[in-house]
Amino acid sequence: MSDSHDTFPPMIPKRGRKKKHHAVHEEVHEGEGPWIVSYADMMTLLFCFFVIMTSFANFDPVVVAKKSAAIADHFAPDSVMDDLKAYQTLGLDIGGHPNLKGVARSQLKDGTLEIVFSSSLMFAMGEVDISPEFMKSLDVLVGLIKNKNPNYRIIVEGHTDNAPISPKHPYRSNWELSSARSASVVNRFLYYGFKPTQLVSVGFGDSRPIAVDHDKNGEALPENQALNRRVVIKVLKPLKSDKMKNLGIDTYFDDSELVK
């Protein structure tokens, strides 16, 4: 019995198996790395997104302009960033000028700077000539744009409400009225030295309202109609050439920028 016992040493765990188990454990642990990093990146981006949305919740044009500039510094290419900074500076100049404060509303939209005026302030009822009282404000705006960059391209849009035109009115439709008003504004840019190839005049009539003109009962809503009677001036970046493109649908310049 003693010989038999001496022949077979006591059983001990095989190190190979333990090492194999340990190796498997290490493989699982090492495999967790890539997806954890991707998940963390995604959560960080989501957090930044909601922080930005929260910061914009209380809208203040000056504050939003500054925040937009800071974001552009990190995410936009140099050329795009330069354009945005120029637009933002121009927008701040417009909003802070005493002749334009409370009269013009500017915003960045689709890579352009939009300045919105109420037609009720710019034109007398049914008229297409800019009122003498408003002319100074418009001239100040044209001067600010020209001082920033005289090569900017300008698109002027005329909009009306859907009130019908009187049969005795010299213009037969809201299309004609809005077109004549936008042309009057374009003429001020021409007067101050902008080239014709930089300018476009567009009349939309009542086809693009921003508020309903009438309630469910068909009654006119004067406040909404006043919002729809507006002139929109769009400031676009300069072109490398002065060539105009043959007009397609909403295409005005040879870089195929669209008016939306």
Q: Does residue 4 lie within any of the structural domains?
A: no
**139 and 155 inside one domain:** yes
**182 and 75 inside one domain:** yes
**65 and 146 inside one domain:** yes
**29 and 143 inside one domain:** no
Q: Does residue 258 lie within any of the structural domains?
A: no
CA separation, residue 53 to residues 56, 59, 64, 67, 78 (Å) = 5, 11, 11, 11, 24
CB-CB contact of 114 with 232 (8 Å): yes
Q: Does residue 3 lie within any of the structural domains?
A: no
**77 and 109 inside one domain:** yes
**93 and 119 inside one domain:** yes
**41 and 162 inside one domain:** no
Based on the number of CB atoms within 10 Å of its own CB, is 9 exposed (0-12), middle (13-18) or buried (19 or more)?
exposed
Q: How far apart are CA 4 and CA 14, in angstroms?
A: 22
pLDDT at 21: 46
CB-CB contact of 185 with 159 (8 Å): no
3-state per-residue secondary structure call for 181-247: HHHHHHHHHHHCCCCHHHEEEEECCCCCCCCCCECCCCCECHHHHHHHCEEEEEEECCCCCCCEEEE
**83 and 98 inside one domain:** yes
Residue 115 clears pLDDT 60, i.e. is over it:
yes
Q: Does residue 96 lie within any of the structural domains?
A: yes
Q: How far apart are CA 80 and CA 36, in angstroms?
A: 34
Three-class SS of residue 22? helix
CATH number at residue 233: 3.30.1330.60
pLDDT at 25: 46
pLDDT at 92: 92
Q: Which residue range is the domain that position 36 belongs to?
A: 12-57
**49 and 154 inside one domain:** no
pLDDT at 260: 44
pLDDT at 116: 96
How many domains does one find in the chain? 2
The label of the residue with tokens 């890539």 reads: 34
**85 and 67 inside one domain:** yes
pTM of the predicted protein model: 0.65
Own/partner pairs for 209-217, CB < 8 Å, 24+ apart? 209/159, 209/161, 209/162, 213/161, 213/162, 213/163, 214/162
Three-class SS of residue 7? helix
CA-CA-CA-CA dihedral for 91, 94, 97, 102, to nearest 10? -110
Three-class SS of residue 122? helix
Q: Which of 57, 76, 92 is the last residue of a domain?
A: 57
Mean of per-residue pLDDT scores for the chain: 79
61-99: per-residue pLDDT in tens? 666 666 666 665 555 455 667 788 899 999 999 999 999
**77 and 198 inside one domain:** yes
149-189: per-residue pLDDT in tens? 999 999 999 999 999 998 888 999 999 999 999 999 999 99
pLDDT band at 49 (very low <50, low <70, confident <90, very high): confident
pLDDT at 51: 75
212-251: per-residue pLDDT in tens? 999 999 899 999 999 999 999 999 998 765 555 544 444 5
Backbone angles phi, psi at 137, to 5 degrees: -65, -45
pLDDT band at 122 (very low <50, low <70, confident <90, very high): very high
Q: How far apart are CA 19 and CA 23, in angstroms?
A: 6
Q: Does residue 157 lie within any of the structural domains?
A: yes
Strands 230-236 and 153-159: antiparallel
2-33: per-residue pLDDT in tens? 444 444 455 545 554 444 444 444 444 555 55
Q: Does residue 64 lie within any of the structural domains?
A: yes
Q: Does residue 216 lie within any of the structural domains?
A: yes
Q: Does residue 6 lie within any of the structural domains?
A: no
**43 and 161 inside one domain:** no
188-206: per-residue pLDDT in tens? 999 999 999 999 999 999 9
pLDDT band at 102 (very low <50, low <70, confident <90, very high): confident
